[in-house]
Amino acid sequence: MKRRTFLQALNLGIVSTAFVGTKSYGFSSLLENPANQELAYHRIQHIDFSTVQLRYPRLVGKNARLDLHGYGPNVEICRLTTDKGATGWASLRGSKREAEQLIGELRDKKVSDLFATEAGTLQARHIPFDIALHDLAGVILQKPVYSMLGREKPFITDYYSGMIYFDDLEPASQPGGIDRILEECEYDYGVGYRQFKLKIGRGHRWMPFKQGLQRDIDVTNAVAKAFPDCQILVDGNNGFSVDQFIQYLRGIPSVSLFWIEEPFHETVADYQKLRDFVRSAGIKTLLADGEADPDPKLLRELISRKLLDVHLTDIEGLGFTNWRQLMPELKTMGAQASPHAWGSLLKTNYTAHLAGGLGNTVTIEGVTSTSDDVDLSGYVVQNGKLIPPSAPGFGMPLLKKI
């Protein structure tokens, strides 16, 4: 996640308070909560850093703007251990170098000085450890994260494959064509997905525009025809102008799109033109944006004008605690969420708990992966939905020795 996005996450225009701090609730009132009293028995003793390797089932290719995405990331993580032997771990937010500078602020601190069940991480500067603190609190309290957010039984929502890129163009020496895309959808169908997000925008960088547009249209029509029981999402990665994207929509008149994601870089004027077109054409679809270089003030304006339906900012980029603060505002404004999770199945699983505890999440981005470093088996895909485990924290035991 870009540093600018990190800084914006600390100065959100759409959230009343980014990281509430103890003053917002009153420190004494936080300690009145029995759960926080339990956290107060634990002090952070060790902070360790490592990585976990995730592997995709196939090479993930290009999108409208970026080249090959590879076979899976090596994710930086942090592990927190208390003096009572409780451990929590998660993806490290930001760089290890930045996190190491904060070790002295966490070591020997009561967990309740850093985290409260009803609020999340209490200080914005501790955002690198935000998700790990959620996991640790869940382990101490022997509760899944979604339960700490208020649900004994989680909200369960739809789950889409976010791994269908321009693999029809690979390998360059002998491209697989549309059949390759259909094969990938068949694989993902077997995983349990009943929603496919198709990357489009081939004419932005990788093909002449007219040919790329036609390939986008042909791929969309082919997948919709081959999988009539599945929903189609499309993601342009800001690879179109508004007029070019309307050309694309005219080419798929029989496809009912679940959502349209980032067709162009968001502006009020362009989203108004797109909204006017889909309404006049009788197209019922959701408009989703906010992943790439999100501008919180603009996103709020688009939502308030009813030009944007789904807020997409990254689950790690914004921060889990910030997402906890944002979700009630989105509900009030009549918008839904689907935090960006591409790249790491860990982020997908964090999102399952956010959605499980707070609802208002229209679907979750799936990044199918395996790992020898993490036990991912607690999460179940059933009838096109992702079900998080009831195990403590995020329910992903760390297998790798650190």
Report the CATH number at residue 376.
3.20.20.120
In-domain check, residue 152: no
Question: Which parts of the chain have pLDDT scores under 50?
Answer: 1-17, 20, 22-27
Please tell me the predicted confidence (pLDDT) of residue 13: 36
- R_g of the chain computed on alpha carbons: 21
Structure tokens at 394: 């995020």
Using CA of residue 117, residue 118, residue 123, residue 127, what is the dihedral sign?
positive
Q: Please report the beta strands in 72-121, taking only residues with DSSP state E, as ranges in sequence order.
A: 74-82, 87-91, 115-116, 120-121
* Rounded CA separation 199/236 (Å): 6
Q: Give the end of a domain, one of 119, 144, 169.
A: 144
Nearest to 353, CA basis, from 155, 89, 142, 139: 155
pLDDT of residue 31: 59
**Residue 184 is encoded by which pair of tokens?**
């990938």
Query: What are the angstrom distances between the C-alpha of 302 and each of 244, 279, 284, 314?
Result: 21, 16, 18, 18
Same domain, 85 and 127: yes
Residues 225 and 359 in one domain: yes
Percent of the chain with pLDDT over 70: 92
Range of the domain at 17: 3-144
- Our count of domains for the chain comes to 2
What span, in angstroms and rounded, lies between the C-alpha atoms of 290 and 23? 30
Domain boundary among 116, 144, 172: 144
Phi, psi of 222 (to 5 degrees): -65, -45
291 lies in the same domain as 336: yes
Q: Are residues 67 and 162 in the same domain?
A: no
Domain-ending residue, one of 144, 170, 191: 144
- Say yes or no: 79 and 202 in one domain: no
The pLDDT tens digits for 195-236 are 999 999 999 999 999 999 999 999 999 999 999 999 999 999
Cβ atoms of residues 374 and 348 within 8 Å: no
Write out pLDDT tens, residues 120-133: 999 999 999 999 99
* Alpha helices for 251-389 (secondary structure H): 268-280, 296-304, 315-318, 320-333, 345-358
127 shares its domain with 239 = no
- Residue 78's contacts (CB-CB under 8 Å, 6 or more residues apart) are 47, 48, 49, 89, 90, 92, 99, 128, 129, 132
